[in-house]
Amino acid sequence: MTHESVLSDTWSRLREGVKYGVHPFHTPVLASVSGHKPDMRTVVLRQADEAKRQLICHTDVRSPKVSMLQRNSQVAWLFYDREAKVQLRLYGEVSLHSSDAIAAAHWENCTPSSRRCYLAASAPGQILAEPGERSVQQNDGFENFAVVSCEISSIDWLFLRASGHLRARLDWRIDHWNGQWIAP
């Protein structure tokens, strides 16, 4: 096993997570900071680009996480594949895109069922009078749509195995990944 094989395995699993809705990496946990407290949520992984070191998910611009990410753009991602016994923790910095060319390109690739998520009149986290209360806006949802684009700078890869766990840390250094084996 080499650091290059760890890197290859990481991006292969991420691409599979994008492609297959049943893959365990399809719905990772994205963590950010709100004030002095961590905040986490499950998101749908929409794109994984190894060449750009980029992960992408979508969100509603009215979501509290958007203002959190505007104040502190540092995030962590958590992926776990129980069958493969692989855990990934990825760290990076996000940029947000709404009402721009990047958002428009992603919107065009959204399925109608995904677009419906952005039609709610109530913002995510808003207090409702009744459970499941829902009204629909009169727009197409694009004005509520945002792309969360994350440039990955560090990868923590853990492989759990009976003969002894393996763990590697890969950090981006100007133009290449620098890997180290670390204690699990």
Supply the pLDDT for residue 120.
81
| pLDDT of residue 119 exceeding 90 | no
**Percentage of residues of the chain with pLDDT beyond 70:** 96
For the record, the structure tokens of 144 come out as 């509520």
Q: Which superfamily does 3-121+135-181 belong to?
A: Electron Transport, Fmn-binding Protein; Chain A (2.30.110.10)
Confidence of residue 102 (pLDDT cuts 50, 70, 90): very high
C-alpha radius of gyration, the chain, whole number = 18
Supply the pLDDT for residue 131.
79
Supply the pLDDT for residue 135.
65
**What is the tens place of the pLDDT at every residue in 21-67?**
999 999 999 999 988 899 999 999 999 999 999 999 999 999 999 99
**What is the tens place of the pLDDT at every residue in 126-169?**
887 777 666 666 568 899 999 999 999 999 999 999 999 999 99
Q: Which of 33, 27, 153, 163 is nearest to 85 (CA)?
A: 163
**Alpha-carbon separation of residue 184 from 90, 92, 159 (angstroms):** 16, 21, 9
pTM over 0.85: yes
Confidence of residue 113 (pLDDT cuts 50, 70, 90): confident
The answer to whether 10 touches 47, Cβ cutoff 8 Å, is no
